[in-house]
Amino acid sequence: MEQNPKSVRMWIITCLLFILGQAMENDRDFKMCGTWRHGNASRNLKSDLKVGCKVIEISANESTLSIQGSITAKCTRSSSIPLESNPLQNPSHFCVFWEPLLDLMIVEVNGKKYTLCESHGLQGTCCTDLSLEDQKIATLYGIENGSIHGDTISYNVMELYRFRGDTINCKEKFCDEASQKRSGANMIEEVVMKSNKTGRVDLPCAQSTIIEIKEGFTGLNFTLPAPRTVAPNMTPTVYLPSCLKSQSTITSKVVCTYYKDKSLFQRGSSDAVLLDDIVGLSVENEIIKNLPEPVRIRFHHSALPANLSRRCVSWDTREDNEVTWKYDGCETEIHDTETECRCNHLTYFAILVQVEQKATVRHLEALTFITAVGCAVSLVSCLVLFYWLCKRSLYSKRVKKTQISLVHRGLVVAIFLLCLFFILTGTMANVGKKIVCQITGSLLHYALLSTLCWMAMEVFHTFLLIRKVFNSTLPTWIFYLVGFGLPVLLVGILLLIENVYDVDIYGERKIVPSDDVNNPYRMCWMLENDKSLLAHYIINVGLLAVVVSSGAVMLFLVVREIHNRPDWKKIHVAFLSIWGLTCLFGTTWGLGFLDFGPVSETILFIFCIINSLQGFFLMLRYYALERMKKKDRSISDGSSSGSSKQHMLQTYEKS
Ligand SMILES: *[C@@H]1O[C@H](CO)[C@@H](O)[C@H](O)[C@H]1NC(C)=O
Ligand SMILES: *[C@@H]1O[C@H](CO)[C@@H](O)[C@H](O)[C@H]1NC(C)=O
Ligand SMILES: *[C@@H]1O[C@H](CO)[C@@H](O)[C@H](O)[C@H]1NC(C)=O
Ligand SMILES: *[C@@H]1O[C@H](CO)[C@@H](O)[C@H](O)[C@H]1NC(C)=O
Ligand SMILES: *[C@@H]1O[C@H](CO)[C@@H](O)[C@H](O)[C@H]1NC(C)=O
Ligand SMILES: *[C@@H]1O[C@H](CO)[C@@H](O)[C@H](O)[C@H]1NC(C)=O
């Protein structure tokens, strides 16, 4: 019971604070309405306004509604406007609006607006907080039910209301108000739009530029105005494309605002940090989406540690009250001390650069070293193996054998290229030319695809031999076409997409070591943007999946085919281990290029070792097979099971 009065009191105080808060918010702008009892003859709206901050009198008699006093910053006006005479409309409803920040005064009588003072930009000091000082009661004609912001002052018919104002710094007060509100950025852009100016408009919390775009607008580059505290070369630059000009209006205004006050935006709950600069763009009375050419905003900032990533985000304030940053609709281009956002939409929105943690690789130096050594060993192994294979096929007279040798040789060449380009990619990335890196990246990709294709063909060829599908052999050119031609086609398509749609697929990738984030390891490979990732998943992962799954199926088929034969027991260990090795290193190259996120360090080391030594393993496998064949041949000489052995030997060769 004790609690109750207390909580009621708290509640009342909260309500009072809320009401007071509302009242204070509304104080800046003034709105007085009432019902004007007037005669049936002609009527006028009389005004006599002067610069200053004293009193304003709103009075009415039989024929005249009169606004006079001195509260404006720039506007002086003395006039008498005849109002439309409609004897049936008596009394008339009227309102007086005063927006001191804009120096804007509008009187509305029976729904028709009369602008007494037009806005000429935002005012620094202005006359606001108009409070009732005096009122004079009338007999017959005058103002009935006079109200301020909807609260009735008096139900009586009054001849005159007099209000006294106060001088304040309007801009500061406005910024304070905006920062209290969720839609603060909207408030700012609306006021700027209403200020009826072109060019620069300054507020303590934001700097805006209003640009009028007319018929024949061909796009515009400009630097946003900035407060004096920001160095001129650090302020964002904006490019407005020609497609911003709407067809429906002759001219339209674009407001570009530079917010230095992050607090207007940072209330959304997010781990990400916003960079200092925020830019808002809006077009008068329009919601702009799906622009054919993007708006470009370039942010300048100090160099960031490489373990942070940046991303452009936008916020559609018209749709949600909460600050929820969206990632779609903007592309991010990252340079060392600059970030460019290309966005195809622009409602009431803001763009910023998000900073978040980026994955780093531990022991990158050791891994790089291991890979380099492994690749060097592989290169030599490939050369040796290639020489062996060529020598053997020279002496061999059997077509089938030549073909097996051809598939082996194809794989050796592909792995040789893969290791070669892998070693080159690090060097080429440091040349610094974009085109060089793009070419190296596409060559590396070609070598990887070629390796995967030749692996697929080893599997396929084995299948043909085991099932004895064809007694005759396939023409040689088919193997070359698939092994070297198909990758050309795939890479060619990607290069075509790159050029036609002007997207970057190949280019410089940075791998960030965790112990020295500012010295990333550069390599040329596929980039990390959406389109490259899509191509990566479809082509690389797809092809890898085909190779791995068909390899597994093949192993199963081979085992099923031959495990009932009498000599199976003798050789199955060697057989399985050779196949297993084949499958293992078939997958590893692919795995090395897949981004499986945080893998354990041990796995990473094993991947690197196996991947880079692939050429060496290929040579080992070939050597082991040759040894086994020779042994087999000497044992089976003259034995009755010769033909079955012969078949099995072929099976090994295929693998
Ligand atoms: C004005 O005209 C209306 C309708 O014609 C009439 O009812 C009203 O009495 C008139 N008022 C005066 C003040 O003449
Ligand atoms: C009504 O008021 C205006 C000024 O406020 C004055 O000039 C005019 O003479 C008045 N008309 C009558 C009929 O009192
Ligand atoms: C004035 O307000 C009272 C109470 O709300 C209402 O009854 C009356 O009709 C209003 N008078 C006019 C002229 O609008
Ligand atoms: C804006 O100001 C100019 C004069 O500077 C005026 O001619 C024009 O009508 C104004 N426009 C609006 C919408 O207030
Ligand atoms: C804007 O600047 C960019 C790069 O600085 C340039 O390519 C483009 O042609 C410029 N556009 C206009 C309309 O000046
Ligand atoms: C990112 O780099 C900075 C300095 O370069 C370092 O202080 C910070 O610990 C790094 N963060 C992580 C998670 O590695």
Residue 63 in domain: yes
What is the SS3 assignment for 369?
helix
Atom of ligand 4 nearest to the CA of 115: 14
Residue 523 and residue 618 share a domain:
yes
Ligand 2, residues at Cβ distance < 6 Å = 46, 59, 61-64, 66
Number of domains within the chain: 3
pLDDT above 90 (res 406): no
Per-residue DSSP letter, 474: P
100: nearest Cα among 123, 69, 120, 67: 123
Residue 190 in domain: no
pLDDT above 80 (res 378): yes
pLDDT at 390: 84
Task: Report in angstroms the alpha-carbon separations of 493 from 269, 490, 498, 526, 627.
Answer: 42, 5, 9, 14, 43
Centre of ligand 5 from the C-alpha of residue 79, in Å: 49
Residue 182 in domain: no
Q: Which of 25-39, 148-162, 170-184, 253-267 has the lowest mean pLDDT?
A: 253-267
pLDDT above 60 (res 650): no
pLDDT above 70 (res 203): yes
Centre of ligand 4 from the C-alpha of residue 210, in Å: 14
Last residue of a domain, one of 357, 387, 418: 357
- pLDDT tens digits, 555-565: 787 777 777 76
pLDDT above 80 (res 141): yes
Q: How confident is the model at residue 643 (pLDDT cuts 50, 70, 90)?
A: very low
Residue 499 and residue 469 share a domain:
yes
Residue 582 and residue 634 share a domain:
yes
Residue 193 in domain: no
Calpha distance 512→362 (Å, rounded):
9
Q: How confident is the model at residue 285 (pLDDT cuts 50, 70, 90)?
A: confident
Pairing status of strand 64-72 against strand 30-37: unpaired
pLDDT higher for 451 or 475? 451
459-469 residues labelled b (16+ CB within 10 A) or e (exposed) = bbbbbebbeee
Calpha distance 258→297 (Å, rounded):
11
Centre of ligand 3 from the C-alpha of residue 280, in Å: 45
Mean pLDDT of 244-263: 81
pLDDT above 70 (res 582): no
Q: Judge if the upstream peptide bond of residue 475 is cis by omega within 30 degrees of 0.
A: no
pLDDT above 80 (res 123): yes
Task: Report in angstroms the alpha-carbon separations of 568 from 175, 557, 558, 576.
Answer: 86, 14, 11, 11
Neighbour count for residue 210 (Cβ, 10 Å): 20
Q: Is the CB of 42 under 6 A from ligand 5?
A: no
- Are the C-beta atoms of 363 and 600 separated by less than 8 Å? no
Calpha distance 22→407 (Å, rounded):
82
End-to-end CA distance of the chain: 87
pLDDT above 70 (res 231): yes
Ligand 1, residues at Cβ distance < 6 Å = 39-40, 87, 90
pLDDT higher for 76 or 336? 76
pLDDT at 324: 67
Calpha distance 648→551 (Å, rounded):
18
Calpha distance 639→93 (Å, rounded):
119
Nearest ligand to the C-alpha atom of residue 210: 4
pLDDT above 60 (res 286): yes
Residue 288 and residue 416 share a domain:
no
- Are the C-beta atoms of 370 and 605 separated by less than 8 Å? yes
Greatest pairwise CA separation for the chain in angstroms: 138
- Atom 8 of ligand 2: nearest residue by CA position: 64
Atom of ligand 2 nearest to the CA of 68: 5
Calpha distance 198→251 (Å, rounded):
12
pLDDT above 60 (res 414): yes
Residue 346 and residue 369 share a domain:
no
Centre of ligand 3 from the C-alpha of residue 58, in Å: 19
- Atom 9 of ligand 3: nearest residue by CA position: 145
pLDDT at 77: 92
Average confidence score pLDDT of the chain: 78
**Which domain CATH number covers 336?**
2.60.220.50
pLDDT higher for 574 or 622? 622
The top-scoring range by mean pLDDT among 59-68, 351-360, 469-478 is: 59-68
Residue 367 and residue 350 share a domain:
no
Residue 220 and residue 169 share a domain:
no
- Are the C-beta atoms of 645 and 567 separated by less than 8 Å? yes
Atom of ligand 6 nearest to the CA of 308: 1
Q: Which of 48-57, 195-204, 336-345, 465-474 has the lowest mean pLDDT?
A: 465-474
What is the SS3 assignment for 220?
strand
Residue 392 and residue 298 share a domain:
no
Residue 288 in domain: yes
Residue 635 and residue 543 share a domain:
yes
pTM for this model (two decimals): 0.62
- Contacts (Cβ under 8 Å, ≥6 apart) of 183: 317, 321
Mean pLDDT of 7-20: 46
Q: Which of 471-485, 564-578, 609-623 has the lowest mean pLDDT?
A: 564-578
Sequence-ordered strand ranges (E) for 362-489: none
Q: Which of 61, 79, 136 to mutate to test the pocket of ligand 2 (most atoms within 8 A of CB)?
A: 61
pLDDT higher for 650 or 258? 258
Q: How confident is the model at residue 413 (pLDDT cuts 50, 70, 90)?
A: very high
Calpha distance 419→462 (Å, rounded):
26
Atom of ligand 3 nearest to the CA of 93: 14
Q: Which of 18-27, 103-112, 161-170, 392-401 has the lowest mean pLDDT?
A: 18-27
Centre of ligand 2 from the C-alpha of residue 65, in Å: 9
Q: Which of 119, 192, 196 to mutate to test the pocket of ligand 4 (most atoms within 8 A of CB)?
A: 196
448: nearest Cα among 408, 406, 414: 414
Read out DSSP for 96-152? EEEETTTTEEEEEETTEEEEEE---S--SEEEEEEEEEEEEE-SSSEEEEEEETTEE
Residue 340 and residue 268 share a domain:
yes
- pLDDT tens digits, 455-477: 888 877 777 766 665 555 677 88
Ligand 4, residues at Cβ distance < 6 Å = 118, 196
Mean pLDDT of 517-542: 82
**Exposed/middle/buried for residue 594 (C-beta within 10 Å: 0-12, 13-18, 19+):** middle
Mean pLDDT of 508-513: 79
pLDDT higher for 52 or 510? 52
Residue 105 in domain: yes
Nearest ligand to the C-alpha atom of residue 91: 3
- Are the C-beta atoms of 541 and 534 separated by less than 8 Å? no
pLDDT at 46: 94
- Are the C-beta atoms of 294 and 361 separated by less than 8 Å? no
Residue 591 and residue 477 share a domain:
yes
pLDDT above 90 (res 224): no
Q: Is the CB of 145 under 6 A from ligand 3?
A: yes
Domain range for residue 533? 361-653
pLDDT at 626: 77
Q: Which of 237, 239, 242, 244 to mutate to test the pocket of ligand 5 (most atoms within 8 A of CB)?
A: 239
Calpha distance 72→48 (Å, rounded):
11
Q: How confident is the model at residue 655 (pLDDT cuts 50, 70, 90)?
A: very low
Task: Report in angstroms the alpha-carbon separations of 567 from 435, 562, 636.
Answer: 58, 9, 11
Q: Which helix (H) or strand (E) holds 610?
A: helix 601-612
- Atom 11 of ligand 6: nearest residue by CA position: 307
Last residue of a domain, one of 357, 389, 423: 357
pLDDT at 96: 95
Atom of ligand 2 nearest to the CA of 66: 5
Residue 187 in domain: no
Q: Which of 82-86, 209-213, 423-427, 568-572 has the lowest mean pLDDT?
A: 568-572
- Contacts (Cβ under 8 Å, ≥6 apart) of 53: 70, 71, 126, 127, 165, 166, 167
pLDDT higher for 394 or 137? 137
Residue with tokens 């899509």: 534
Last residue of a domain, one of 323, 357, 391: 357
Return the structure tokens found at 8: 């009621």
pLDDT above 90 (res 95): yes
Atom of ligand 6 nearest to the CA of 518: 5
Residue 85 and residue 19 share a domain:
yes
Calpha distance 257→295 (Å, rounded):
14
pLDDT at 371: 82
Residue 511 in domain: yes
Q: Which of 119-133, 444-458, 538-552 has the lowest mean pLDDT?
A: 538-552
pLDDT above 60 (res 594): no
Nearest ligand to the C-alpha atom of residue 61: 2
**Which domain CATH number covers 415?**
1.20.1070.10
Return the structure tokens found at 113: 């607006």
Return the structure tokens found at 241: 């494309």
Mean pLDDT of 183-195: 84
pLDDT at 645: 37
Q: Is the CB of 303 under 6 A from ligand 6?
A: no
Mean pLDDT of 267-274: 60
Atom of ligand 4 nearest to the CA of 196: 1
